[in-house]
Amino acid sequence: MIHSKYFLILNTVLILMPFILLRGQSPGIWAATDGVKVDKSDLVHPFKSGNSAWDGDTVRIFGATNEIVAFQVIVETGTKPLTLNWAGLKELVHLKSPEYRITYVPPDTDPTLYAGRPIQVFNVNYMEVKEATNASWIHLSSLPSAIDNPLGWKPVQLVPENALSGRGGYPLLINPLHNQSIWFDIYIKKDLIPGIYLGNVLIETSEGDYSIPVRLEIFDFSLPDENSLNAMFYFENGNPILYMGSSFDNDPGFHRFAHLHRVEFVDAYNTSSASDNMDRFSGKAFTPEKGYEGPGENTGNKIIPRTFYGTPNEWLNQATARNLSDEWMEFINENIPDAITFLYMPDEPGPSEFPFIKGVADNIHSNPGPGKDLKILVTHGYTSELEGYIDIWATTPGQLDKERIKIEKSKGNQMWFYNGGRPYVGAIINDAPATDTRMIAWAAFKENIGTYFYWHVCHWNHNWQFGPGPDSPLRKQNVWQNTITFERRPQYDDWANGDGVLIYPGRELIHPEEDRGINGPVSSVRMANFRRGMQDHLYLTMAKRRGQYELINEALDNIVPGVFMEVNYNDEIYYAQDPDVYDYYRYKLGAAISENDEISGWTDDLNRPSTVIIFPNPLSGNIVNIHFQSGSPCKIQVDIYNLKGQFTGTLLRAQSHKNKLDETINLDEMKLNLKQGIYFLQIKILYSNHMNETKILKLVKT
């Protein structure tokens, strides 16, 4: 449970100013960060007036080299339908050195052939969420942590621009009073110099052609090819074969896709299958010669499980277990010495399966040969009944205790976490905000957890838990039409929207009317935001290695102040859900990384200050009311910063009276010449014991 030292409530008098770029009967066009979901029928979204990627006129994005940055342009119709004929971004050119540029090349029917294609364009596909996810381990509408506005037409898939017409490709019809998001991914190659790059998004419609300026700022550093957080996503090869055809058996495109998103698609291997796919682990599969260009080029995967979702009974025989583990570890030590490998015990086992786990673990741990180094993984919260048998505890977020993490690390063991679930961490579902997926990596960084696991990426053919039964033809789900992808009704009253489906079939043999004409996986908004979180994790890691502990602590306290077992099941959400807050700190971290070199002796122990929670956030308006109550006397200072973290002015300096403070600030009277747009209020609290606390609130100045 979070116990705050104070409560700070800011309210505003709203001045409603609907924002739309109108040219006669022209469509409304605006832009947004990649971290927000704009519903198909939401014509009054607050981000229209400005957000971290949009100042009302220009798309503004930033990043390091070897990073993928993304944004979306929203085309909004009036009372008449509109045909979107084409949209694109042809190039971004360095402002002072035009020989440096990022140039668009049209895509192949295989969307994972990334070499030479640093700019990718997608049209967002929307799906109707008719029932909010109802699964106690993910999300319940009856709890304080329930998602706001879970129903409606949600942005889900990122369909490549060259999909079939009527299936996400051009021309694309937009019905009256609807939105259509056009999504842009930009890979910033390592050989680009820092500075400002300019270009224009061009949009051709039945009502005319439009141009939106784009400004990309590239930092003076490069993200590493090696990830700082391991991300293990289960990939069932049989589903692409079933839905897309036998030619997609072991298709390397799916692994190129995963690599571009800084995750690994995994399943069980033996020495034969590992040898057949050695390029995947050596890095040769991720080179321009093999169609790959992006983060992790020429860098191999490192997670190679020996078994997955269970271990065969033969491992209970000591002689067999020793022979198999010796053979495997000899292969690993010779070919992939830095690999993460393990035996996956029965999934989420009950006590009746503990004897099996103990038997297999004894056979491995007592092995005098190299097989003794093969790890035992269990998807279970720590239990003393399995003490001494488990090397890797993979727990749900609500079972992850920071003290247990320290204890297990001291024994040489590891603690991972898997999936998601409010209020402990984000919910990886279609009805949740995009930041629910992004924050997973932030939570992992906060508790110094090395590996995250997601249970399935292509759960198209429902597993054995399908409610109507394993023989039901409905088990072969139409994931393009039905947003519920995990369901146990009628036996159990639970279901989830998009659970286990982060990618979608580009070809469709079972439901041919849904065929997109794409010879590979189709991405999703959630997948893109997981990649964004993985890159955020690298920013945090690089800042830590430069000794930027104060900035990191401030970022963590404003984005993930309460996660895992710091919160209780009936608590509200404590982590940030506004993508602008994430981007505010990503920019500050990027600036700090650019200005500082790595230090020796950096530490994982960040000595974070005590947690403070502030609501509501964000704010909107010109008059800000501050109501403050603390547990002890303190001074408070409120400063205002722009989106780049540049100081703009001081709004308030005050001393709490009887530990309380009530102030009203009229922004128009502050003589700060604040223009309409996004700002951040930095609230500094100094207690009598000289302990400082800092909180950030977003402000939309109208």
Residue 113 near residue 390, CB atoms below 8 Å? no
- Which H/E stretch holds residue 537? helix 525-544
CA dihedral of 16, 22, 28, 29, whole degrees rounded to 10: -100
Does residue 59 sit within a domain?
Answer: yes
- What CATH number has the domain bearing residue 208? 2.60.40.10
The span from the CA of 483 to the CA of 129, in Å, is 6
**pTM, 2 dp:** 0.89
Residues in the chain, total: 702
The pLDDT tens digits for 597-617 are 876 655 565 544 433 334 344
Does residue 587 sit within a domain?
Answer: no
- What CATH number has the domain bearing residue 508? 3.20.20
The span from the CA of 75 to the CA of 659, in Å, is 49
Contacts of 249 (CB under 8 A, 6+ apart): 237, 240, 241
Does residue 139 sit within a domain?
Answer: yes
Residue 31 near residue 48, CB atoms below 8 Å? no
**Domain boundary residue among 205, 222, 239?**
222
109 and 152 housed in the same domain = yes
Residue 594 near residue 556, CB atoms below 8 Å? no
494 and 512 housed in the same domain = yes
126 and 39 housed in the same domain = yes
Residue 112 near residue 256, CB atoms below 8 Å? yes
The span from the CA of 4 to the CA of 24, in Å, is 52
**Domain boundary residue among 475, 501, 534?**
534
93 and 51 housed in the same domain = yes
Residue 343 near residue 359, CB atoms below 8 Å? no
Does residue 266 sit within a domain?
Answer: yes
Contacts of 459 (CB under 8 A, 6+ apart): 236, 239, 485, 486, 499, 500, 501
* Parallel, antiparallel or unpaired: strands 375-379 and 392-395: parallel
Residue 21: both structure tokens together: 């770029």
Does residue 657 sit within a domain?
Answer: yes
Domain span including residue 335: 230-534
211 and 255 housed in the same domain = no
29 and 92 housed in the same domain = yes
347 and 292 housed in the same domain = yes
Residue 140: both structure tokens together: 């319940």
Query: Which pLDDT belongs to residue 390?
Result: 98
- Which H/E stretch holds residue 559? helix 549-559
41 and 88 housed in the same domain = yes
CA atoms within 13 A on the CB side of 125: 27
DSSP string, 14-39: ----------TTPPEEEEEETT----
327 and 186 housed in the same domain = no
Does residue 429 sit within a domain?
Answer: yes
Domain count, the chain: 3
Q: Which three-class secondary structure string do you get for 319-355?
A: HHHHHHHHHHHHHHHHHCCCCECEEECCCCCCHHHHH
Residue 215 near residue 61, CB atoms below 8 Å? yes
Does residue 561 sit within a domain?
Answer: no
Query: SS3 of 641, please?
Result: strand
241 and 217 housed in the same domain = no
Where the chain has pLDDT below 50, the residues are 1-24, 607-617
**Domain boundary residue among 175, 194, 222?**
222
- What CATH number has the domain bearing residue 648? 2.60.40.1220
Does residue 661 sit within a domain?
Answer: yes
In whole angstroms, how far apart are CA 252 and each of 114, 258, 265, 521, 681?
A: 12, 10, 11, 11, 47
Angle at 467 between CA 465 and CA 471, to 5 degrees: 80
Residue 390 near residue 412, CB atoms below 8 Å? no
370 and 275 housed in the same domain = yes
* Parallel, antiparallel or unpaired: strands 647-655 and 660-666: unpaired
Whose tokens are 């279901």? That residue is: 495
Return the beta strands (E) in 223-280 as ranges. 230-234, 264-266
303 and 159 housed in the same domain = no
The span from the CA of 179 to the CA of 177, in Å, is 7
